[in-house]
Amino acid sequence: MLRVDIPDVAALPAAAEQVRAFLAGHSIVCFEGEMGAGKTTFIKALCASLGVREEVSSPTFSLVNEYRDAQDRPIYHFDFYRLNSPEEALEIGTLEYFDSGYLCLIEWPSRIEPLLPTDRLLLTLSVTGPFSRELRMKKDE
């Protein structure tokens, strides 16, 4: 398990680089944490470290956003907070995204738990102060 203390927003790029080192061989990355813990903010920093040039924002209403990394490969960013059931995720073709082999960054994965592949990384962000966070990362299997 990787544990990273993030004392403030300025520390996000370094934390994202640490996580990036663990991404090799993983295409499904799940982000858990309470509302306001910084899941989208961390995903922005991670995407920047991967060379994404376009604006990264939460796909709260669209459910999925697509970005391009430095090698012009797609990165899919999901936000399942507003879903009422995993079936709603199926309607947008979620399994095809997961099977694509491209990086899928998933906020609120517990909303679609039955659809998630067993081989995935889980990142949990916890609020530890007004500006500080703790990130814990483990491989689910």
Q: What is the pLDDT of residue 22?
A: 86
What's the domain count of the chain? 1
CATH number of domain containing 76: 3.40.50.300
| pLDDT tens readout for residues 19-53 | 998 888 899 999 999 999 999 999 999 999 999 99
Sheet of strand 120-127: strand arrangement: 2-6, 133-140, 120-127, 28-32, 103-107, 74-79, 64-68
How many CB atoms neighbour CB 124 within 10 A?
A: 17
- How far apart are alpha carbons 12 and 99 in whole angstroms? 29
Judged by DSSP in three states, 41 sits in helix
Domain span at residue 88 reads 2-140
Judged by DSSP in three states, 132 sits in coil
